C-alpha cells in the first residue's frame, strides 16, 4: 500500500491527533495504530478516557476514508461523528501501550458511513462500538 | 483528562426537588482550550467526544462519584457545537441506580441544548456508568 503520512489522511491536528498510522486499508476495512503517550490530551491517571478511545476509532475511520479519497485522486474529507451505538468498554488502555484498531464498513450512503470498530491492546479487546460518520467532501 | 475549568465551566446546577439524581447544568464552553487548535485548524468545532466527557464530568458531580462509561447504548450528535456560536449550553442529566451482575451501576440519560435557543439540541445520550471502586 502506498505510504501517506497521517497528516495527509486526517484533518485533525495536535493536540487531538489520535491515530499514528494507517497500517492497512481497503474500501471495506482498515487497521490503524496509536501509541498512547502519557501527555495525550485524553489520558487521566495513566489511562486513556473512554472519549479518547471513541475519538481514536472515529479518526481511524477518517484515515481510511482519507486513504480511499487520496487513491481516487481526491483530497481527504472532513468527517464528523453522527452517532455512537453499543460502545462496550472492557478496560481502559494504559499510557505507554499501543492501541490497534480494526474498522469495518457496514454501509455507505449519501455521505453517511456506518462502521464497526474494535480497539485492542496486545490482542485483548479494550472496546468495541458501531459508529455513524458524516463525511463532508470539500 | 479533566475538561472542567479548561474546556467548560459550570455556571449553575439545578438539582430536581423530586429526584436528587436529576439535574440541569448550565455551562459555558471556553474557546481558549488548546483542542480547538487541532479540531480543526482555522475552524473551531467542539469535538463530540469532548461533549461526552463533559456530560460524564457533570454526572460525576451529580452522583458524587467517579465513573467509567462502561456502555453507551446510543450517543447521538445532532448539531455542530462551537464556543463562538453557542457558548452557553444546558445539559440535562438523569441517573438511575441499578444492579448489574451484582455490581451497582448508574443508567444515564442526558441531553444538551443551546441556552440561547432550546430548539437547538446538540446531543442525546443513553448508557451506563460504572463507579470506579
Domain boundaries, chain A: 13-136
Domain boundaries, chain B: 8-131
In words, the CATH class of domain A13-136 is alpha beta
**Closest Cα in chain A, distance from residue B37 (Å):** 7
B-chain residue closest to A43, CA distance:
B1
CATH number belonging to domain B8-131: 3.10.129.10
- Cell numbers for A99, please give them: 492501541
Which residues from chain B sit within 8 angstroms of residue A86, using beta carbons? Answer: 71-73
DSSP chain B: ---BTTTEEEEEEEE-SS-TTEEEEEEEE-TT-THHHHSSTTS----HHHHHHHHHHHHHHHHTS-EEEEEEEEEEE-S---TTT--EEEEEEEEEEEEETTEEEEEEEEEEEETTEEEEEEEEEEEEEEE--
Which residues from chain A sit within 8 angstroms of residue B49, using beta carbons? Answer: 51-52, 54-55, 58, 81
For B75-87, write each residue's pLDDT tens digit.
Answer: 999 999 999 999 9
Q: How confident is the model at residue A138 (pLDDT cuts 50, 70, 90)?
A: low
Q: Which residues of chain B are under the pLDDT cut of 70?
A: none
CB contact at 8 A, A49 and B36: no
Burial classification of residue B99, based on how many CB atoms lie within 10 Å of its CB (0-12 exposed, 13-18 middle, 19 or more buried): exposed
What residues form DSSP beta bridges with B76?
A83, B124
Which residues from chain B sit within 8 angstroms of residue A130, using beta carbons? Answer: none
Least confident of A50-59, A73-82, B86-95: A73-82
pLDDT at A1: 61
Give the separation between CA B58 and CA B63, rounded to whole angstroms: 9
Which whole-number Å values give the CA distances from B15 to A115, B37, B52, B61, B97, in the listed order? 38, 35, 20, 11, 16
Which residues from chain A sit within 8 angstroms of residue B56, using beta carbons? Answer: 50-51
Read off the pTM. Answer: 0.96
Question: What residues 43-82 of chain B have any CB closer than 8 A to a CB of chain A?
Answer: 45, 47-50, 52-53, 56, 68-77, 80
CA dihedral (A47, A32, B80, A82) positive or negative: negative
Residue % of chain A over a pLDDT of 90: 80
Amino acid at each position: 500500500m502506498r505510504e501517506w503520512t497521517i497528516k495527509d489522511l486526517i484533518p485533525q491536528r495536535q493536540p487531538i491527533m489520535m491515530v499514528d498510522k494507517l497500517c492497512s486499508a481497503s474500501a471495506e476495512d482498515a487497521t490503524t495504530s496509536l501509541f498512547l503517550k502519557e501527555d495525550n490530551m485524553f489520558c487521566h491517571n495513566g489511562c486513556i478516557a473512554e472519549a479518547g478511545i471513541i475519538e481514536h476509532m472515529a479518526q481511524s475511520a477518517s484515515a481510511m476514508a482519507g486513504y480511499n479519497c487520496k487513491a481516487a485522486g481526491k483530497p481527504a474529507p472532513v468527517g464528523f461523528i453522527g452517532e455512537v451505538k453499543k460502545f462496550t468498554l472492557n478496560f481502559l488502555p494504559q499510557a505507554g501501550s499501543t492501541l490497534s484498531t480494526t474498522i469495518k464498513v457496514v454501509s455507505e450512503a449519501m455521505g453517511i458511513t456506518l462502521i464497526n470498530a474494535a480497539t485492542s491492546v496486545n490482542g485483548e479487546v479494550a472496546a468495541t462500538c458501531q459508529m455513524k460518520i458524516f463525511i463532508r467532501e470539500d | 483528562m479533566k475538561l472542567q475549568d479548561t474546556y467548560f465551566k459550570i455556571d449553575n446546577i439545578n438539582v430536581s426537588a423530586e429526584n436528587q439524581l436529576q439535574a440541569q447544568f448550565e455551562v459555558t464552553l471556553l474557546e481558549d482550550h488548546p483542542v480547538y487548535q487541532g479540531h480543526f485548524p482555522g475552524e473551531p468545532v467542539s469535538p463530540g467526544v469532548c461533549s461526552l466527557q463533559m456530560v460524564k464530568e457533570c454526572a460525576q458531580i451529580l452522583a458524587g462519584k467517579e465513573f467509567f462509561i462502561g456502555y453507551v447504548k446510543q450517543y447521538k450528535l445532532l448539531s455542530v457545537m462551537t464556543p463562538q456560536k453557542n457558548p452557553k449550553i444546558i445539559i440535562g442529566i438523569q441517573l438511575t441506580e441499578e444492579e448489574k451482575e451484582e455490581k451497582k451501576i448508574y443508567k444515564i440519560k442526558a441531553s444538551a441544548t443551546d441556552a440561547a435557543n432550546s430548539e437547538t439540541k446538540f446531543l442525546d445520550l443513553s448508557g451506563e456508568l460504572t463507579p470506579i471502586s
